[in-house]
Structure 1
Amino acid sequence: MDRRHFLQTLPAAAPLGALGTAAGAVPMTAERLPALRPRRLRPGDAIGLISPANASFEREPVALAIEALQALGLKVQLGAHALSRRGQFGGSDAERAEDIHRFFADDGIAGLLALTGGSGCARIVDRLDYGLIRQHPKFFGGFSDVTCLINAIQRRTGLITFHAPFAGSTWTAFTTRHFRALVMEGEAPLLRNPGGEAGGDLVQAHDRAWTVRSGRARGRLVGGNLAVLSAMAGSAYWPDFDGAILFLEDINEYIYRVDRMLATLRLAGALRSLAGVVLGQFTKCEPGDGNYGTLTLDEVFEDYFGALGVPVYRGAMIGHIPRKFTLPIGAEAEIDADACTLRLLAPAVT
């Protein structure tokens, strides 16, 4: 089946009138907006699938994404441009922003979830109508490149957004359980890495978390992919880090680049007044060919976070891994770096 025929066999978003992109509808101020909790997703709800970053090039991953959400009990509606393509992107900048607007404006849609990541969200973050989004608060989730949108929407509207698996992620039992608990059941869970796996190992060798600096603190959750977050520095969509618990993850970055991106955060003032830091998985972040004289990740993290005077732990199940937590951006949480846990202080949804 060719791509055009496949597009014709899948549901499209219902047409709406033309929507403006008044990105300044909610003016940027230094004042922090009150947190706005979306309604929880319930079985039978319709969720809109969007492609705010990369295009989806094969039919099977899209079919699997739809089936996974249906298995959660949700009805699935593809954005009008969710399977479009311009270069590597899931449609033009205008088309990708339009799908977000359409689904936020449609009261029959309970939430929006990105199909996949990649790149391109920074091209549309200044095209979004944040006034429209605040008037129609609902679940919005994704990670990786979507770090840009979930932090920008939270900053500009107060809406709690979700560092969540893509529709096209691997929906392991662990990932599904944590997504359901937070987004569908309205729990305020304790997030802790799983214990040792069966199999006779003398000590736990996988999914380990460890303390970088002891302590316990409370604050709002902000963060996501380090490369994307650092690229937002100085923009009107940069998160408010004051008193926040910052969580970070990344993939396929040389260690010297991780160092440079953390320097960007420090120079931009993001590390100045944090309450705590959670370091997730830095998958395949290695010295690279010919670079074995570089600092280690341990040394880089110690340089930037060891002297902050706040609790820090590393190894949380956050990032480009099959088993991952869902985290609410803008929600209040407590970090216990000695126990290597995050505890939400209240449900992130109503």
Structure 2
Amino acid sequence: MNPSRRQLLHFSAAATGVLAAAQPARAAARPLLAPRLRVGDTVGLVSPANATFEREPLKIAIESLQALGFKVKPGQHVAARRGPFAGTDAQRAADVNAMFADDSVAGILAMTGGSGCNRIVDKLDYRLIAAKPKFFGGFSDLTSLVNAIHRQTGLVAFHSPVAVSEWNDFSVQSFKSLVMNAEAAVLRNPVFKPADDLVAREERITTIRAGKAQGPLVGGNLTVLASLAGTPYFPDCRGAILFLEDINEYIYRIDRCLSTLRLTGALGQLAGVVLGRFTKCEPGDGYGSLTLDEVFDDYCLPLGVPVFRGAAIGHIKRKLTVPVGALAEMDADAGTIRLLAPAVA
């Protein structure tokens, strides 16, 4: 990197941090809520990210949504492909916009994650979305769209299973309680009882800094979220509870992304942090690595806010549905997130 470019990046990061710190505290406001989904509703199936390369996963996805009690309307380009993506940027964005515009569609779920959502985040019709609020859900690369929709419209969107996810009982019940039953639910890990061991070794919660905190939930996949830093689609972190997860990233990359969030000023504005699962995030090649424990301690402990790790959020089989923009209370000792009001109307 040449010196002038390095200086420019340094100045830009510093300026972003100063501007973020100078912002007033987040004003209390009621989020925009989508109507709850009901059995018999039509759910639009879209592919804003990766292509689906075989017919079988699409068939299974449709059958899964039908088993939840929904009718399914596939997007016009849900089975399209351009390179790794499910069609061109224009096609993928058009499918999302069309589903929000379609009055016969009650909610919208992404087919899969992967990559590509950042390419269309500025192509969504946010005025349309605000005028016709609907359930919108997905995780992983969908972190871009879920957070952008909330930031641009105030609509609570959902870090939820995608259509091709495993819809096991835990994932289904979490989804239903928030999205269909409109419960002000307590989000907690599944209870795991060891069959032949003295202690549980799965679904464990680690308290990094004790305490409780209240605020709107924001977050999702760490690397995707960090890629939005400095854009109008990055979440408002003032007084927020940030939840994070990731998969298949070397630990130094996790460190780099957290450093990005710190340099923007976002971490210093938080009320609390919930760390989900960092699946297969391991040391890379080289002279050595910090551990994830050390990285999380380095960035989270100086914040002076409650933090816990191990929430059932991320690239795992049994996953919680988390409403981005909903007001909640986290308890770092109990390892829970309690919604202060329903996340749908």
Q: TM-score, normalised by structure 1?
A: 0.90
Aligned partner of 1:273 in structure 2 is 269
Aligned partner of 1:43 in structure 2 is 39
Q: CA deviation at 1:288?
A: 2.4
Give the distance between the partners of 1:102 and 1:193, measured in 2 at CA: 36
Q: Structure 1: any 5+ residue segments left out of the alignment?
A: 1-28
Aligned partner of 2:164 in structure 1 is 168
Give the distance between the partners of 2:166 and 2:73, measured in 1 at CA: 20
Q: CA deviation at 1:34?
A: 4.5
Aligned partner of 2:20 in structure 1 is none
Aligned partner of 2:304 in structure 1 is 309
Deviations 1:133-168 (A, max 9, x none): 101000000000000000000000000000000000
Counterpart residue identity of residue 80, structure 1: Q
Q: TM-score, normalised by structure 2?
A: 0.91
Q: In structure 1, which of residues 68, 73, 80 is the aligned counterpart of residue 69 of structure 2?
A: 73
2:35–2:134 CA contact under 8 A, matched in 1: yes
Aligned partner of 1:345 in structure 2 is 340
Counterpart residue identity of residue 335, structure 1: M
Does 2:255 correspond to 1:259?
yes
Q: CA deviation at 1:263?
A: 0.1
Q: CA deviation at 1:188?
A: 1.2
Give the distance between the partners of 1:164 and 1:70, measured in 2 at CA: 17
Aligned partner of 2:106 in structure 1 is 110
Does 2:129 correspond to 1:133?
yes
Q: In structure 2, which of residues 83, 89, 102 is the aligned counterpart of residue 87 of structure 1?
A: 83
- Please give the secondary structure, in 2, of the residue aligned with 1:221: strand
Among all aligned residue pairs of Structure 1 and Structure 2, give the percentage whose two residues are the same amino acid.
Answer: 63
* CA RMSD, Structure 1 to Structure 2 (Å): 1.3
Q: In structure 1, which of residues 62, 65, 72 is the aligned counterpart of residue 58 of structure 2?
A: 62
Give the distance between the partners of 1:129 and 1:194, measured in 2 at CA: 37
Aligned partner of 2:5 in structure 1 is none
Matched pairs, number: 321
- Please give the secondary structure, in 2, of the residue aligned with 1:248: strand
Deviations 1:60-103 (A, max 9, x none): 11111111110000000100011101110001010001101111
Q: CA deviation at 1:266?
A: 0.3
Aligned partner of 1:156 in structure 2 is 152
Q: CA deviation at 1:273?
A: 1.4
Q: Structure 2: any 5+ residue segments left out of the alignment?
A: 1-22
Aligned partner of 1:3 in structure 2 is none
List structure 1 segments (4+ residues) > 6 angstroms apart after TM superposition.
Answer: 29-33
Aligned partner of 1:11 in structure 2 is none
1:196–1:203 CA contact under 8 A, matched in 2: no
Deviations 1:295-347 (A, max 9, x none): 00000000000111100000000000010000000000001101111100110
Q: In structure 2, which of residues 208, 219, 222 is the aligned counterpart of residue 223 of structure 1?
A: 219
Decide which structure has greater helix share.
Answer: 2
2:194–2:200 CA contact under 8 A, matched in 1: no
Give the distance between the partners of 1:37 and 1:63, measured in 2 at CA: 30
1:195–1:204 CA contact under 8 A, matched in 2: no
Counterpart residue identity of residue 106, structure 1: D
Q: In structure 2, which of residues 323, 326, 332 is the aligned counterpart of residue 331 of structure 1?
A: 326
1:36–1:158 CA contact under 8 A, matched in 2: yes
Deviations 1:198-248 (A, max 9, x none): 513210011111100001010000000000000000011111000000000
Q: In structure 1, which of residues 297, 305, 319 is the aligned counterpart of residue 292 of structure 2?
A: 297
2:143–2:225 CA contact under 8 A, matched in 1: yes
Q: CA deviation at 1:289?
A: 3.6
Counterpart residue identity of residue 106, structure 2: A
Does 2:199 correspond to 1:211?
no
Deviations 1:265-291 (A, max 9, x none): 000111011010000000000002445
Give the distance between the partners of 1:219 and 1:318, measured in 2 at CA: 18
Counterpart residue identity of residue 72, structure 1: L
Give the distance between the partners of 1:142 and 1:242, measured in 2 at CA: 24
Aligned partner of 2:313 in structure 1 is 318
Counterpart residue identity of residue 144, structure 1: S
Counterpart residue identity of residue 315, structure 2: H
Does 2:240 correspond to 1:244?
yes
Q: CA deviation at 1:124?
A: 0.5
